[in-house]
Chains A and B, each alone.
Chain A
Amino acid sequence: MHRTAKLAVSVLMATSMIALAGCSAADTGADSKTLKIVYEKTDSFTALDTLFKKIKPEFEAAHKGVTVNLQPIQANDDDYSTKLALSQQSAETAPDVFYEDTFRLRSDIDAGYLLNLDDHLDGWADWSKFNEGAKGAGMGDDGSTYAVPLGTDTRGIWYSKPVFTKAGIAVPWQPETWDDILTAARKIQATQPGVVPFNMYAGKGTGEGTVMQSFYELLYGTGDSLYNENDQKWVVGSAGFKDSLTFLDTLYSEKLAVDPSDALDPNVWKKVFGELFPKGQLGGTVEGSYTPSFWQKGGSYEWPAYVTDMGVAAFPTQNGDAPHGVSMSGGWTLAVGAKTKNADLAFEFLSLALNKENSLWYDINNSQIAVRTDVAADPTYLAANPFVAAVTDLVSVTHYRPATSDYPKISAEVQAATEAVITGQMSVDEASAAYDTAVEAIVGSDKVTK
């Protein structure tokens, strides 16, 4: 009895010592010559994964004794950035090179997650090939560059030519005002029951998609904006904000868009690309320049007929005022982690991934708008799909999101306002007032302007 007890105690102590040691000690197996590359991969976004898998052996052959450890995170954009931020909390898990959304960039620079790349970029001949706008995307508030852009994008109306033709609308179609969109949508509704006339994302389910591919196209076409860059204040109580909500309310209450319960499904965009457009069950929607990447060969929803069946138009301003179009741009970058132990190697990997050949491949296969001037002039880039010229033209009317660290929270409030309106939980005025209150609570009353 006594002996058993003693044994039990020593076993218990031994196991707990091991357990305690296990959680305190760092993993000493981590080779100092391992590069950890963290990026997003989903069933519809595999281009970056393919690119990295292609250059991994190339890089390892050129640098003996270096292992490239690819760590794709399988998650949507929101979950990806959360997981990335969590991995940045400790030097053990922080990545050496990672994929970073431009709109989170400044916030993450403030958090100290990104390495200042100024010295490295000085010695990189290719840096002069990047266009100036793109260079600005990777810049922090201090004027230093922290990330190198992979490509950019624009947004416009994608519409189904067969559906429009059946409704008696002439194609190619270019609406001049918001009312033109409603008129076309009502024609489709009247002629083709079962077809969703014109969808625009709304609600928290589609996350940034709700604002980038729907609400901001409306808001920035009213003459109002989200943020006043000059005095660095957030705009509240604007007529444009209410008008934009009203437009969405009209689309959803007249059943011109998908059912509100479908709109709240985070996967509604998969239905748009994979089901509604190919089956001719959707008239039009606002989507990004990357749209062909889903349909072209090797995409998630291969559909060869998109080349002839789809059309692109600029999203109009509210009343047809100049500049007669609205687009939004974002884009993703590659950055080097501030906690990396091999900054030079990490930058070399980044520069290999972004050289002309690899940028060209990525821009074509992920339907990105090129940010390297040599790629933009390449004939294979221009011939990648019939829409490259049209979506590149939208750069002239495009807008960028305010790149401040408060932005993600404000964006969430905009999404909440659209959700409240399309589900009928709030009237336009109530949702707009709730947004104003929330923004003031986030940034403080001295940072808002009427």
Chain B
Amino acid sequence: MKAEQIAPTRGANPGEPEPVGSGSPGRPESTEGGSRRRGPLGTRARTAARLLPLVPAVLLLLVFLAGPVAWSFYGSFTNAALTGKEARNPQWVGLENYVTLFQDPVFPLALWLTVVFVVASAIIGQNFLGLGIALLMNRANRVVGSLVGLTVVAAWVLPEIVAAFVAYAYFSKDGTLNQVLSAFGMTGPNWLFSLPMLAIILANVWRGTAFSMMVYRAALNDVPIEITEAAMIDGAGGSKRLVLITIPMIKSSITTNLMLITLQTLSVFTLIWVMTAGGPGNQSTTLPVMAFQEAFRFSDIGYGTAIATVMLLIGAAFSVVYIRALRPGKG
């Protein structure tokens, strides 16, 4: 559910079959009626032959992507469980799981925390910090630029579980952050306990900013220098150039990046589980944590998949917004 859902970005898809009718040039044209009868038949066969190589890929997508999604969707209408008599004979329970979910006092909280987490750590944190670093790096000298790049990318290169432990060690009660603070004579709070959301948001910003930075660096390199220079000659200042030239020109990269980081952040689990396990209480229980707890702690697979389905819908809603924003001719 992460990177696989990328919509086509800039440029046409090179793999697309050519439009019907651009037949081979060497063949002599026959009468109109003849071409109508033979031509479409020939091209149809050729289109089919051209689509054939896609079959394995489509099959794999169906088996490994659509399959689990469909199973999860089906499971959410049953009382499937890991133990108890429901594990032997799962029953169809209709919308019962969804009814329970919408009455569950934890659900609105988890939904709210998920939105806070996505908006604060991805849309605001990673996105703006990534853009800012990319812009600064364009002006910085090469040594400073590569040093900054290396530092930022280091967090992204770490496997998620390692990054999660690093973040835990940093924010925990006797962790790095509080030791640094105490060196300045300040006593930091127990971040994971008193400010759990802030801690996981900062950790996710730290871990994910590199991705946005790299996307924006690539996009900024594509902005033609002539246009920027022309704007400079016309007397546009730095901020004016950014708003009027740079941002409109990298608009599609911004949208693609926003979609990717939104979907990635929506499904962040390891980082939160290692740092706070959703606690204290339910104060950092986002939807993935809630789904895991219900499915694997309380063995209620049906209920867990119902939460997963709701997450899928939220992801789909974000994607629709971004894909619409990507349409040419808008804005």
Binding site for B on A (CB under 8 A): 9, 12-13, 16-17, 19-20, 23, 78, 81-82, 85-86, 104, 107-108, 110-113, 203-205, 260-261, 264, 266, 405, 408-409, 412, 416, 419-420, 423, 425, 434, 441
Contact = CB atoms under 8 A, between A and B. Distances in A.
Contact of B88 (A112, A205, A419): A112
B238 interface: no
Contacts of A111: 81-88
B280 A110 contact: no
B84 A107 contact: yes
A82 B297 contact: yes
Interface string B61-93: 001000000000000000001111111100000
A412 B88 CA distance: 23
A117 to B, nearest CB: 18
B175 to A, nearest CB: 12
13 contacts: A20-B60, A82-B82, A82-B297, A110-B83, A110-B84, A110-B87, A111-B82, A111-B86, A261-B190, A261-B192, A419-B279, A419-B281, A425-B283
Given A82-B82, A85-B82, A420-B281, A110 B53 contact: no
A9 B87 CA distance: 43
B88 A110 contact: yes
Given A16-B56, A261-B173, A409 B279 contact: no
Most chain A CB atoms below 10 A, which of B86, B192, B280, B297: B280
B71 to A, nearest CB: 13
B179 interface: no
B85 A204 contact: no
A425 B296 CA distance: 25
Contacts of A420: 281
Contacts of A416: 281
B279 A19 contact: no
B59 interface: yes
Interface residues of B, number: 32
A266 B297 CA distance: 14
Contacts of A104: 83
Chain A binding site: helix, strand, loop or mixed by DSSP?
Answer: helix
A86 B82 contact: yes
Interface in B3-40: none
Contacts of A16: 56-57, 59-60
B264 interface: no
A348 to B, nearest CB: 27
A58 B214 CA distance: 60
A405 B85 contact: yes
B299 interface: yes
A423 B282 CA distance: 11
A367 B199 CA distance: 41
B91 to A, nearest CB: 14
A410 B154 CA distance: 44
Most chain B CB atoms below 10 A, which of A81, A82, A104, A441: A82
A16 B63 CA distance: 11
A9 B193 contact: no
Contacts of B53: 9, 12-13
Given A16-B59, A19-B60, A85-B299, A423 B84 contact: no
A405 B279 contact: no
A323 B224 CA distance: 87
B128 interface: no
Question: Which 3 residue pairs across A and B have the least CB separation, nearest first?
Answer: A111-B87, A261-B193, A405-B84
A416 to B, nearest CB: 8
Interface string B255-296: 000000000000000000000010111010000000000001
A78 B105 CA distance: 24
B280 A409 contact: no
A161 to B, nearest CB: 30
A412 B86 CA distance: 19
Given A204-B277, A408-B298, A419-B280, 4 more contacts: A85-B87, A111-B82, A419-B281, A425-B283
B47 interface: no
B56 A110 contact: no
A19 B299 CA distance: 30
B297 A78 contact: yes
A104 to B, nearest CB: 7
B138 interface: no
A409 B298 contact: yes
A409 B56 CA distance: 44
B162 to A, nearest CB: 18
Contacts of A434: 105
Contacts of A419: 279-281
A354 B63 CA distance: 45
